[in-house]
Structure formats: structure tokens, C-alpha cells
Amino acid sequence: MTDNPVTVTSVTSQYATQVAQDLDLNAKEQERISAEHSALQAQLRILQDDQNVLHSIQKTLGNRPASAPTTPKPSTPLPQQASGKTTTRRAPSKNAAKAPRTKKTTVQAKKDKTQGAESKAATSSAQPTLIALIRTHLDQQKEPRSAAEVASTLAEAHPRRTIKPTVVRTTLENLVAKSQAHRSKQGASVLYTSVTVQAPTEKAPAPVI
């Protein structure tokens, strides 16, 4: 009868350890999924911006055929003025020469607009993802960095992007889970380094003579 309490406590401690491990794994998995969700949302916003730019290009290109039939209009009054004097023929020739120039300028303006829209679409689609920015930043650092330091540095380097420290921390944890980054602790702070950089090791105390 005296062995039963000991066995019950040992089984309870084993279950408690297993539950704690499962909770830890669950939390890490939630952080990984939230990081991927944030990255996908950023890519979705970029694609939506590209779609808006492409719609504007499509509208400008669709307006071009409507102005094409207006070009032969200056040639229609020419047969009516053929019966007049030679002095009257010279006046409409100047007007006819001026009309195509204005239309050429409008066509060139539309081309400039389409080229500007295409350049904007190319720049927006060429933006790197947050994961790529974090990995590049860690590769360039020789010392461990915290999530707040990484977030502030990236926010200063990319002021047009919204970079949140919570998203950066979850992305770093995702990289650690995929063995693409190292995580270490110094007191109460958590630091991250690239896999190409060796994590700092604590120096052994000097022997006392």
C-alpha cells in the first residue's frame, strides 16, 4: 500500500512534462503559422497593387482605338474646297498640318503614362519578402541581434513598408524552427544570429593559482 502514492506521483509528473512539451510545440507552431500568414498577406497586398496598376494600363490602352477614327477628318473638306481659288486652298492646308501634331502629342502622353505605370508595377513586384530581408540582415551582422533591433533597422532601411516587431519575432522563430537561424539567450533577452555566423560561446573562467 505504501508504493501506490509514489507511482501515482511519478505518473503525474510524466504527464505534466508531456503536457508542457506539447504546449511548447503548440505555441511554436502557432508562431510559425502566424509568420507565414503575415508574409502571405504582404505578398497579397503587392499583388493587389499590381492588379490596380495593370487595370489602369488596360484602361489607357483601351482608349486608344476610340481616337483613331478622328484622324481622317481633316481630309474630308478637301474635295469641297477644290472648286475654290488657289488662295483658299492654302489656308486649310495649314490647319490640316496642325491637327495631326496635336494628336501625336496626345498619343505620346498616353505612352508616357503607360510606361510610368509599367515601371511602378515592376518596382512593386520586385520588392523582397520580409523573410528575405531578415535573413539578409542576419547574414550581414557579426553579433547576435534581438527582434526589436532587427525590426528597427529594417524599418529605417525600408520606410515605405510597415514592419512590426511582433511579426519580425515570429518570423525569426520560424527561421529557427527551420534551422535557418540560431537563437540564444543573454539574461532575459533573446538574441538571433544567422546560421553562417557562429553563436558566441561563454569563456571558461581562468584557473585560480
pLDDT computed for residue 197 by the predictor: 62
Reported as a pLDDT band with limits 50, 70 and 90, residue 92 is: low
74-78, 83-87, 164-168: segment of lowest average pLDDT:
83-87
For residue 86, is pLDDT > 60? no
Last residue of a domain, one of 43, 59, 75: 59
Residue 146: CB partners within 8 Å, gap ≥ 6? 189, 190, 191, 192
Last residue of a domain, one of 39, 59, 79: 59
Domain limits for position 35: 10-59
Query: Ranked by mean pLDDT, which of 1-5, 33-37, 74-78 comes out on top?
Result: 33-37
Residue 115 resides in a domain: no
Residue 55 resides in a domain: yes
Distances (CA, A) of 40 to 18, 34, 50, 192: 33, 10, 15, 23
Instruction: State the cell numbers at 187.
Output: 539574461
Reported as a pLDDT band with limits 50, 70 and 90, residue 188 is: confident
pLDDT computed for residue 60 by the predictor: 86
Residue 50 resides in a domain: yes
For residue 203, is pLDDT > 50? no
30-39, 42-51, 182-191, 195-204: segment of lowest average pLDDT:
195-204
Reported as a pLDDT band with limits 50, 70 and 90, residue 4 is: low
Residue 174 resides in a domain: yes
pLDDT computed for residue 94 by the predictor: 53
Instruction: Quote the number of domains for the chain.
Output: 2
Last residue of a domain, one of 20, 43, 59: 59
For residue 88, is pLDDT > 70? no
Residue 81 resides in a domain: no
Residue 109 resides in a domain: no
Count CB atoms within 10 A of the CB of residue 171. 27
CATH of the domain at 170: 1.10.10.10
Residue 184 resides in a domain: yes
Kindly report the average pLDDT of the chain as a whole number.
75
Q: For residue 117, which of 56, 59, 65, 160 has the smallest C-alpha distance?
A: 56
Give per-residue pLDDT as tens, 147-176. Answer: 999 999 999 988 888 889 999 999 999 999
